[in-house]
Amino acid sequence: MSNFPRDAVRALPKAELHVHLEGTVDATTLLTLAERHGVKPPADDVAGIDQWYKFDDFPMFLERYFAVLGLLREPEDFAFVAERYMTTAHDQGVVHLEFYVSATGHILENQKKWAPIHDGIVEGCNRAAAATGMSWGLIPDISPHLGSEACIRAMDEVFAHDLSHVLAVGMGGPADNWWTQDFSPIYAKARSLGLAGVAHAGEHGGADEVRFALEQFGAERIQHGIGAMQDPAVVELLVNSGVACDVCPGSNLALKAVPDAASHPLPAMLDAGMTVTLGSDDPPMFQTNLLDEYERAWDWCELDLEGVSRLAQNSLDAALVV
Ligand code: ADE
Ligand code: ZN
């Protein structure tokens, strides 16, 4: 049994910097959305959906994640999901939250308009912020398997709408060939509009992905980044730049980015002096939540309260501010 001090960790003010809005759709919410839109759900009850949220590998996860995107249709769907998750996060001591939103997935795969999606999310976040006092921002992201040209077009639609709640552009789910295509113009345009750039890299891939995101996209935070540990030069880049890796240990286990807990490089990342924050990624899909992630770090890295406090402080320090 872990001696994890859950209540003390809950009491630490924290930011959650790596969570996908669509990945917060739990089984009950999924069933509600399916019924609302007259769509046959992938299973008939909560237990069935929870089972559907078990993945053999990353492609199987992405396929199901994209199916969930298809159930989010109306602005109120987005508002409901955003408000619900922010409230859940607040109960775990989160004071600032940054939502990744799979913008190109909605626009390109589901032929939706960005403006109502955005406005629905803003409505939900504002409702939760009014009730909790939390701060928040959005990170619309690129799904590189949809191709760079299409993503450039879709992100232009994002850039043309209200950017006052948008903190950065991101890149999720790097497919095998993401660096053979040129997504740099999207990051350059974001920067010209005063936005930051972040990217998933080194999740299933290696250190070269992380280097590419840092050097070609100017990434100001890396999501996961565990593959960086394969190359001491990339570790050094991260340590010297102070660029944080938003690590999600439960996600890495669920998607088999590492074979088991003992193989996870989180302890080595902390030992190397890298700046690490903890995130839950897609919590109900991985049967986790943010405090569970702190518990994993506690157990795997043999942390004390000072150690977990440092991770919480890292998250506040690495937050992007509107
Ligand atoms: N989008 C949602 N979850 C993701 C993950 N774990 N990796 C990459 N892209 C994602
Ligand atoms: Zn992620």
At 22-44, the pLDDT tens digits run: 999 999 999 999 999 999 999 99
Q: What is the residue with the minimal CA distance to atom 9 of ligand 1?
A: 173
Q: Are 139 and 167 in contact (CB under 8 A)?
A: yes
Alpha carbon of 193 to ligand 2 centroid (Å): 24
Cα–Cα distance measured from residue 140 to residue 99, given in angstroms and rounded to the nearest whole number: 8
Residues around ligand 2, an ion, CB closer than 5 A: 223, 281
**Cβ atoms of 53 and 64 closer than 8 Å:** yes
Q: What is the pLDDT of residues 182-237, one digit of tens each?
A: 999 999 999 999 999 999 999 999 999 999 999 999 999 999 999 999 999 999 99
| Spacing, Cα 172 to ligand 2 middle (Å) | 6
Pocket test for ligand 1, best of 19, 20, 69 (most atoms within 8 A of CB): 20
Counting from 1 in the atom list of ligand 1, the atom nearest the Cα of 200 is 8
Buried b (16+ CB within 10 A) or exposed e, 88-109: bbbebbbbbbbbbbbbbbbbbb
Q: What confidence score (pLDDT) does residue 120 get?
A: 98
Residues having CB within 6 Å of any atom of ligand 1: 20, 23, 65, 172-173, 200, 203, 251, 255, 281-282
Task: Tell me the CA distances in angstroms from 304 to 268, 309, 310, one per residue in order.
Answer: 16, 9, 10
70, 41 Cβ separation under 8 angstroms? no
Annotate 151-169 with DSSP letters as a single string: HHHHHHHHHTS--TTB-EE
What is the distance between the alpha carbons of residues 224 and 274, in angstroms, rounded to a whole number? Answer: 12
Residues in CB range of 209: below 8 A, 6 or more apart = 174, 179, 201, 202, 227
What pLDDT is attached to residue 110? 87
pLDDT at 322: 54
- Ligand minimally distant from the alpha carbon of residue 250: 1
Token readout for 321 is 């501010």
- CATH code reported for the domain at 6-318: 3.20.20.140
CA of 173 to the centre of ligand 1 (A): 5
Quick check: 254 and 287 in contact, CB under 8 A? yes
Which of 60, 141, 281, 287 most suits a substitution to test ligand 1, by most atoms within 8 Å of the C-beta? 281
Phi, psi for 208 (deg, rounded to 5): -60, -35
Beta bridge partners of 276: 245
> Any idea which residues carry the catalytic annotation?
203
Minimum CA distance residue for ligand 1 atom 7: 173
Ligand of minimum distance to the alpha carbon of 61: 1
- Distance (angstroms) between ligand 1 centre and the Cα of 102 equals 9
* Ligand 1, atom 8, residue with closest C-alpha: 173
Question: Considering every ligand atom, which ligand is closest to the CA of 246?
Answer: 2
CA-closest candidate to residue 156, choices 137, 144, 169, 172: 169
> 172 CA distance to ligand 1 centroid (A)?
5
Query: Best mutation site among 16, 18, 200 for ligand 1, i.e. most ligand atoms within 8 A of its Cβ?
Result: 200
CB contact burial 117-129 (16+ within 10 A = b; e otherwise): bbbbbbbbbbbbb
- What parts of the chain have a pLDDT lower than 50? none
